[in-house]
Structure 1
Amino acid sequence: MRLKNKPWALPLIQENPQYVVTEPQKFRGQWQERFAARQPLMIEVGMGKGRFILEMARQNPDKNFIGLEVQTTATGIALKKQLAANLPNLQFICGDGNEITEMFAPGEVAGIYLNFSDPWPKKRHAKRRLTYRTFLAQYQQIIASDGLLEFKTDNQGLFEYSLASLNNYGMVFDQVWLDLHHSKEAADNVMTEYEEKFSQKGQPIYKLAARFESKN
């Protein structure tokens, strides 16, 4: 969902290059230099307002996190939260996820989160879904051999499509949840803004965790 443009967002981003990268290609293969410590790098593609990625960084100081978001306003809102939190293991990219292999070097990323991505329900728009095979091919290039891809959604159609897409690509599933919030995983689950909204309406939250088959 596209947010209403906030005129303050872009200037705020430009004033805080220590937290937000707008030319991510310049850091390809060198992202660890932007963090206080060299640690496994986790990225969220489509972070929205940043609730999930900020909380993950707060709870996991032994990992580095990058939130990737194409919308300037959403990035600005997330940046406001980071300016208050000042987490040393969190960075943002304001950019397009379609160019992810130009942002990260092969094997540079330890894990990828896809949370409540646009379902693009029309069949002719399937190629835009973040679990379409061309996106999976890009994730496979940048993720480490033992890296984990996690995907959450409230959209049953998108989840079923994603299960089939990942399976057809040859990925191996660690686990699949058809009602995440009523599972053992719920206790440690970090919610996004959309997730809380949808779950409060009684909608089940779907999740999968999968890995790419080893290239060896």
Structure 2
Amino acid sequence: MRMRNKPWADDYIRDNSDIVPKNASSYKGEWKKLFANAQPLHVEIGTGKGQFIAGMGKQHPEYNFVGLELAKSVIVTAIEKVKTAEVENIRLVNADAQNITELFAENEVDKLYLNFSDPWPKNRHEKRRLTYKTFLEQYKQILVPNGEIVLKTDNQHLFEYSVVSFSKFGMELQEVTLDLHAMEDPLNVMTEYEEKFSGKGQPIYRCRAQFK
């Protein structure tokens, strides 16, 4: 679904540089300088409207979070969510994951979250999936040794593809859940999409995979 253009988005992002730092790539290797504490760094790719990262930041003050979101019309809502959460351990970046190694240095990130990523269902678009091997190569570079990826999706095909992709890459599967909400995980923080799809009775899939 195409998001409505918000002509004021650029100004709003610029006015909130405390949350969306300017020239994000200049912090490569030095992200901890943006936070009050040098805590483990967790990164969400595709932050959307920010419900997940705002919830995680509030639930886990012991971690620092960076959320990547390409759409300016969406990240402005995420900024509002972060403000409402009243936390200091979240920063947002207006960028995608195509060249994530330009944003984060080797072994700088402790955990990655892929929440309801575009499934790119057509075979010719396989290389665009965020769990394709070229993305995994970049993730392995920026993650600490034994770093973890947590994937959540409602798309069965993407989930199955990702589990196979992780395995082929030599990652260790820590968890493969076919119905996340049936587990009643008290620590699970839902995204906007997750609320929408689970409300319709669709199963939510979750996988945790660790680089060896």
Unaligned runs of 5+ in 2: none
CA distance in 2, matches of 1:156, 1:27: 36
Once the two structures are TM-superposed, the CA of residue 8 in structure 1 deviates from its matched residue by 2.4
Which residue number in structure 1 is paired with residue 62 of structure 2?
62
- Counterparts of 1:120 and 1:201 in 2: how far apart (Å)? 22
Shifted more, 116-125 versus 12-21: the winner is 12-21
Read off the aligned partner of 1:56 and give its amino acid letter.
M
Cα distance between partner residues in 1 of 2:85 and 2:183: 30
User: 3-state SS of the aligned residue for 1:43?
Assistant: strand
CA offsets, 1:72-105, max 9 Å, x none?
Answer: 0111111122233331101000112111000000
Structure-to-structure mapping, 1:1-216, within 5 angstroms? 1-184=1-184, 186-213=185-212
Identity %: 50
- Secondary structure at the aligned position of 1:191 is classed as coil
Question: What is the root-mean-square deviation of aligned Cα atoms in Å?
Answer: 1.1
TM-score between both structures, scaled by the size of structure 2: 0.97
Q: How many residues align?
A: 212
Query: How far has the Cα of 1:10 moved from its partner?
Result: 1.6
Bigger CA drift: 193-202 or 82-91? Answer: 82-91
Work out the CA distance in 2 between the residues paired with 1:169 and 1:61: 32
- The secondary structure found in structure 2 opposite 1:44 is strand
Contact kept? 2:108, 2:144, Cα under 8 Å: yes
Q: In the TM superposition, what is the alpha-carbon distance from 1:2 to its structure 2 partner?
A: 3.9
Distance 2:46 2:161 in 1: 19
Cα distance, 1:22 vs structure 2? 4.4
Q: Is the 8 A contact 1:35 1:88 kept in 2?
A: yes
TM-score (norm 1): 0.95
Question: Structure 1 unaligned runs (5+)?
Answer: none
